[in-house]
Amino acid sequence: MKSRILFKIGGQAFTGEDGFRDLATAIQSNQELEVIIVHGGGAEISQALKDADRETVFIDGIRVTQAEDIKIVEDVLSGTINQRIASWLSANGVACRRMSGKTERLFIVAPLIRKGKDYGYVGRIQQVNPEVVLQALADSRVPVVSPIAADENQESYNVNADSAAAALAAGVQCTDLVYVTDVPGVMAGEDVFHALTIQQAKSLIAAGTIKGGMVAKMESAFEALDQKVPRVHIIQWQGPTTLNNIIKQRSTDGTVIHR
């Protein structure tokens, strides 16, 4: 059985083309592997909104997205960043299929309401229709997915990329979900936890050891594990060998979360 791995790549995780060249090399050396990429782009969205004199507001780490913001956010994610990632991979020999959560209704969302707070055009995924992703894999193409999605009325919504990655990893039955970040893994001070169960991770959140932006990432990891994704990794990219280590379940410098 083929391994199927979803990489969620954050805005600062790969700086420039070098990281994607490494990833392309790793993909090409593992022909039996199916790879999916979901990307974010928070820093570039913030800059684009600033350039448009739009204020960026976060509530509990989630960007409030007004009606006037959603086109800018969509242009950055589904246009600029999605095209750049696909172009870099293609230039290094990896065939890609660009898409967003709106492509063939990959994700159907509803407005996110959390703790009674309204986040505007921020979506919560209600349904995954994975056929477009599975077809790309069958065609030996790497799906490069922007998390922009739409509701039943085809209104665009901004979806947290970590949550989109978790939902898609479950929807296409990935063997591994990998969050590539700019930190080495889940940490306590300078030390990295190399393996955590869901219960251990929840205890560390309750104790305040896991905090800040890592909490939302862990919550997405729990969602994926609850939907039968066997392993979730939080790692810093260490070059082409990173992918081989994940496939062979060797120790990486990051954190593996499991049930």
**In CATH, what number is assigned to the domain containing residue 134?**
3.40.1160.10
Report which secondary-structure segment, H or E, holds 120: strand 117-128
| Average pLDDT of the residues in 14-20 | 80
At position 171, the amino acid (one-letter code) is: G
The DSSP secondary-structure symbol of 90 reads H
Q: Three-class SS of residue 157? A: strand
| Average pLDDT of the residues in 232-249 | 82
Of 58 and 253, more confident: 58
Q: How confident is the model at residue 48 (pLDDT cuts 50, 70, 90)?
A: very high
Q: What token pair was written down for 168? A: 């898609």
Q: How confident is the model at residue 193 (pLDDT cuts 50, 70, 90)?
A: very high
| Average pLDDT of the residues in 156-166 | 96
Q: What is the pLDDT of residue 230?
A: 95
Residue 235 pairs in a beta bridge with: 180
CB neighbour list of residue 164: distance below 8 Å, 6 or more residues apart: 8, 38, 101, 107, 125, 145, 147, 149
CB of 235 closer than 8 Å to CB of 248: no
Q: What is the pLDDT of residue 13?
A: 66
Q: What is the pLDDT of residue 12?
A: 67
- As a whole number of angstroms, the distance between CA 195 and CA 84 comes to 33
Q: Express each pLDDT in 91-136 by its tens digit.
A: 999 999 999 999 999 999 999 998 888 899 999 999 999 999 999 9
Of 251 and 228, more confident: 228
Determine the structural domain holding residue 99 and report its residue range: 4-258
234 pLDDT more than 90: yes
- As a whole number of angstroms, the distance between CA 137 and CA 135 comes to 5
List, in sequence order, every beta strand (DSSP E) within 129-243: 142-146, 149-150, 156-157, 176-180, 187-188, 191-192, 195-197, 231-235
Q: How confident is the model at residue 76 (pLDDT cuts 50, 70, 90)?
A: very high
CB of 240 closer than 8 Å to CB of 25: yes
Q: Express each pLDDT in 132-153 by its tens digit.
A: 999 999 999 999 999 999 999 9
What proportion of the chain, given as a percentage, has pLDDT over 70?
97
Q: What is the pLDDT of residue 190?
A: 86
- As a whole number of angstroms, the distance between CA 53 and CA 56 comes to 10
Q: In terms of Cα–Cα distance, which of 137, 140, 48, 132 is closest to 93?
A: 140
Q: What is the pLDDT of residue 30?
A: 87
Sheet with 107-114: strands ordered across: 117-128, 107-114, 149-150, 156-157
Q: What is the pLDDT of residue 240?
A: 77
Q: In terms of Cα–Cα distance, which of 38, 56, 205 is closest to 125?
A: 38
Helices H / strands E in the chain, number of each = 9, 16
Report which secondary-structure segment, H or E, holds 125: strand 117-128
Please give the biggest Cα pair distance in the chain. 51
User: What's the number of domains the chain is made of?
Assistant: 1
Q: What is the pLDDT of residue 200?
A: 96
CB neighbour list of residue 87: distance below 8 Å, 6 or more residues apart: none
Q: How confident is the model at residue 192 (pLDDT cuts 50, 70, 90)?
A: very high
Crossing angle (nearest 10°) for helices 213-226 and 161-171: 10
